[in-house]
Chain A
């Protein structure tokens, strides 16, 4: 058992982890994060997605001990005026809601990787294809990602 510090949503948390402990379990059981969730346990559904230094990680496959000192972002820690969250809410991009935080974080990664770019549907679909929504909210999810991408591109043009 090792004591390490995880930085989650900008706050430092001291946690005790064994070598095999999963990041997902440590976040849920020791940090109190419930927006990352187990869906498959094999990195195939995206419900456990978190961002580590801005990059998406399936926390159900990640060993917690490797994330000492890294900056971990979860959906519940996004700012109150988060534009991706706003777009998902406006577009009604949720049914049961279980998988949606994963989609939100993947959208952040996509937009941050392509600042100001006009994204086409193929790029969006390719980036989000690892996230599964069994309720089938895909039409609203597509609309939400498109909405926020257009807004970011417009804001970027406005600035330049």
Chain B
């Protein structure tokens, strides 16, 4: 049917918008039935299975690496050392997103217990795993650096020289240093460094420690690499396919078009599947051995691949007699382990919000990132911010209590508001801390009197807020292919790891093009097909990829209207896209997308494509003040409130009610937003109460799921209330921003503050374990 064939009434269509709708998750039924394919489910064919011989020493020189016996074992195809790779590929084997400091196999020196030293390639995994025990390594021990104090003392250096890798625009200002374990040192100063305070000022200060913890996505990391002619192909569990492509191109010194990186949807990520995990080793082995290699690791090995940074922070806040902030200061140290990974970026990005979302006249931050002889720490949901939030939200709470003021009210009158200039020099927009705080206090009935039993169980309530800046600058691209039948394929390199991008991005396309649920499908990331995207992390995809997707869809709408206008000689302004297709507004004639594209090309199955890019910019930190007039593209605002019972006899905490709020600008899919808030709150609660990677002389002691505690259904709060706050961002797609991390950030201090409320003790170290709670109560003489 063409546009001008007679008068027609427009068909009755369902005008329910796609954006804001609770669409079911793409592939939801297939996920429940287990029919969805993850990377390790794909058939590989004949390949070399890889197992790794690992360092038993935290810090040592390699004196000799004897692989003779392993190489002679039946079924072993090859045995490869770090020296072999170094000889073949040179210094290019040292990779990393911030510093080029990490080899896939140790060269000359090992820097943590569990570091890969030798790779064994064999006909099957069992053969490879048993042959690694035949490798004999002789070490000369070097003085180990186990913790932050030893790292700062600075007599033993874990790396002789630091070389920035400069893959990302925001890390260009890093420069090579030597003779230190401090690989990044960030300073922020607003007002006076040592302001003179009036005698009536009230100051609280304390020191806090968040130990390293692990992400534990239930899907294990996995990588296959193969060589086809002059090309390298990688299938891997990564949140950063574009980064992996660049890394492999640099590592092998081949153009980007000879590297293909694919990933399937992930079985969870949380920051653990980013940058250099198994990929450099797989790429180097496949390339040098000219074979397909498959690296599947055990849970214990996955624990040694990455972690959340242990963070020590000393903070202080001073207020005047009216409770207005006069000065805030924080000294933060991030333990990044043996290799920098993304630690330097985290140090700046969470350092500049380490005083919390509060108005203050004088602000001072020093944030340092240090090497230690531990597995390398990297990105983790919240990117360093939850650790610093424990400090400012505990201090603010103690200030309120010292003043005899309600902790929520005290926060409310000091929080940043729309248009405020943050202490790092950037304005605050679309970050509604007040409504987040209102939402959670309302959810737990904060202002109603609390029944406080005085027996074995003591009840208390706590509240906390959180702020995070979205990573800036970053880049997203989208290619939208509209198929002749009216369905669409969306090519983006955003990885769906459970957050729901494969559901939510189609909603954005559907909103613009009036398509229905199920009509838009996302193509899984494949760098031969899907365009560059910085990372799927930092809650950035909804805003950045979402903007690219929206623009691609809008271009498609314009293209459809152009085609309709040119085909029928109709004035462009008389046409509009509707749910039924392109409508001639003067005649009411309607042509479906399928008919229009069919007529345009004269064939079925044809496609129209549009592309778009969305790139953000920033103002780099001032080298002296750390200020930036645009440190971030946008802010995340969140809050949590907890009502708990503390068992006076055992120190155990029972969470009666946990409420968590996030300002998401606009909820593209409220059901997915609620799940992100809830899931982040549950993870935050677990980190607050249970989790810690325990080390003894550099050896991880609890790297199995028998020993590392994770919450089950038995550990859920009695009530968990997600609160969506929508304060549209002026440049978000339909006003939207991300939410993946928001719900985690304020959880630990909300629970710590509830303990303080219930039994009067301030606990400054995580986890808030029964032993620690009981110890604090005994020490304080709580009866």
Known interface pairs A95-B25, A125-B714; 12 further A-B residue pairs with C-beta atoms within 8 A, sorted by A's residue number: A42-B299, A44-B706, A92-B671, A94-B25, A96-B268, A97-B32, A98-B38, A126-B714, A133-B218, A138-B712, A138-B716, A139-B716
Which residues on A sit within 8 Å (CB–CB) of B270?
Answer: 134
Interface members, chain A 49-108 (any B CB < 8 Å): 74-76, 78, 82, 85, 88-89, 92-101, 104
A23-40 CB mask vs B (1 if < 8 Å, else 0) is 000001000001111111
A35 near B712: Cβ-Cβ < 8 Å: no
Whether B37 is near chain A, meaning CB under 8 Å from some CB there, is yes
A-B contacts, 11 listed (Cβ < 8 Å): A39-B299, A89-B32, A96-B265, A99-B218, A128-B712, A130-B712, A132-B218, A134-B215, A134-B710, A135-B675, A135-B679
A95 near B499: Cβ-Cβ < 8 Å: yes
Within the complex, the shortest CB–CB distance from A160 to chain B, in Å, comes to 30
Interface members, chain B 699-742 (any A CB < 8 Å): 704-706, 710-714, 716, 720
Within the complex, the shortest CB–CB distance from A133 to chain B, in Å, comes to 7
Whether A111 is near chain B, meaning CB under 8 Å from some CB there, is no
**CA–CA, A93 to B671, complex, Å?**
11
**CA–CA, A41 to B300, complex, Å?**
9
- Which of A74, A78, A132 has the most B CB atoms < 10 Å from its CB? A132
Whether B497 is near chain A, meaning CB under 8 Å from some CB there, is yes
**CA–CA, A132 to B29, complex, Å?**
19
Instruction: Find the A residue at minimum CB distance from B269.
Output: A96
Whether B267 is near chain A, meaning CB under 8 Å from some CB there, is yes
A40 near B37: Cβ-Cβ < 8 Å: no
Whether A140 is near chain B, meaning CB under 8 Å from some CB there, is yes
**CA–CA, A65 to B38, complex, Å?**
27
Whether B681 is near chain A, meaning CB under 8 Å from some CB there, is yes
**CA–CA, A82 to B29, complex, Å?**
11
Within the complex, the shortest CB–CB distance from A110 to chain B, in Å, comes to 12
Interface members, chain A 121-160 (any B CB < 8 Å): 124-126, 128-142
Whether A6 is near chain B, meaning CB under 8 Å from some CB there, is no
- Which of A38, A39, A137 has the most B CB atoms < 10 Å from its CB? A39
Which residues on B sit within 8 Å (CB–CB) of A34?
Answer: 34, 37-38, 41
Known contacts A96-B498, A98-B268; is-contact A78 B33 (Cβ 8 Å) = yes
A39 near B220: Cβ-Cβ < 8 Å: yes
**CA–CA, A131 to B298, complex, Å?**
18
B31 near A100: Cβ-Cβ < 8 Å: yes
Which residues on B sit within 8 Å (CB–CB) of A101?
Answer: 32-34
Interface members, chain B 480-521 (any A CB < 8 Å): 497-500
Whether B692 is near chain A, meaning CB under 8 Å from some CB there, is no
Which residues on B sit within 8 Å (CB–CB) of A141?
Answer: 713
A41 near B36: Cβ-Cβ < 8 Å: no
A75 near B679: Cβ-Cβ < 8 Å: no
B218 near A47: Cβ-Cβ < 8 Å: yes
Whether B154 is near chain A, meaning CB under 8 Å from some CB there, is no
Within the complex, the shortest CB–CB distance from B303 to chain A, in Å, comes to 11
Which of B25, B30, B299, B675 makes the CB contact (< 8 A) with A40?
B299
Whether A8 is near chain B, meaning CB under 8 Å from some CB there, is no
Known contacts A41-B299, A94-B28, A97-B498; is-contact A137 B675 (Cβ 8 Å) = yes
**CA–CA, A42 to B703, complex, Å?**
12
Whether B266 is near chain A, meaning CB under 8 Å from some CB there, is yes
Within the complex, the shortest CB–CB distance from A32 to chain B, in Å, comes to 9
B218 near A39: Cβ-Cβ < 8 Å: yes
B268-285 CB mask vs A (1 if < 8 Å, else 0) is 111000000000000000
**CA–CA, A98 to B222, complex, Å?**
14
**CA–CA, A94 to B26, complex, Å?**
11
Which residues on A sit within 8 Å (CB–CB) of B34?
Answer: 34-37, 74-76, 100-101, 104
